[in-house]
Amino acid sequence: MQNQILRNNLGNKLIEPKQRVGISFTVFFILTLVIFSCLSFACGFFIQSYYSKSHKYMIQNVQSKSNIKKIDHKKYEINLGSFKNKEDAKDFVDKVGELGVVISQNSDIYSVKLKDKFDFQHALTTSEIIRSEYHIIATITERENK
């Protein structure tokens, strides 16, 4: 009677040792896959939050320095990029031409800058807008007296 219970309609045993190994391997593989997926998602989320916090603290640090210097008569310019040859600089200007940029040459480097000169707070705000809209990290430099 036990032999009849352990056999299905085709006459095979319901659970053979090979089937147990196959099932346990499948369960182990799925659990491992789920665990590593969760870990990679958590690591990515942690790294993204770390970089956004460090960027936020950097902006707050610069803003706090700007609040210390309330009366700042210096003018700043926003540099969008530096290139080794003029053709690359012109290609970059074509992409961001609506910002009103100009190409300047220092020794053998071509720099693409905004035409306008800004006070520090306005330069900081403008560079943040450029970073968010155009995904370009702009640098703020003190304008040389000419």
> pTM above the 0.75 mark?
no
Higher-pLDDT residue of 3 and 120 is 120
The mean of the pLDDT values for the chain is 75
- pLDDT value, residue 9: 52
Mean pLDDT of 62-88: 72
Mean pLDDT of 50-70: 67
- pLDDT category at 34 given cuts 50, 70, 90 is very high
State the Cα angle at 50 between 62 and 64, rounded to 5°: 15
Q: 37-67: b or e for each residue (b if 16 or more CB lie within 10 Å)?
A: eeeeeeeeeeeeeeeeeeeeeeeeebeeeee
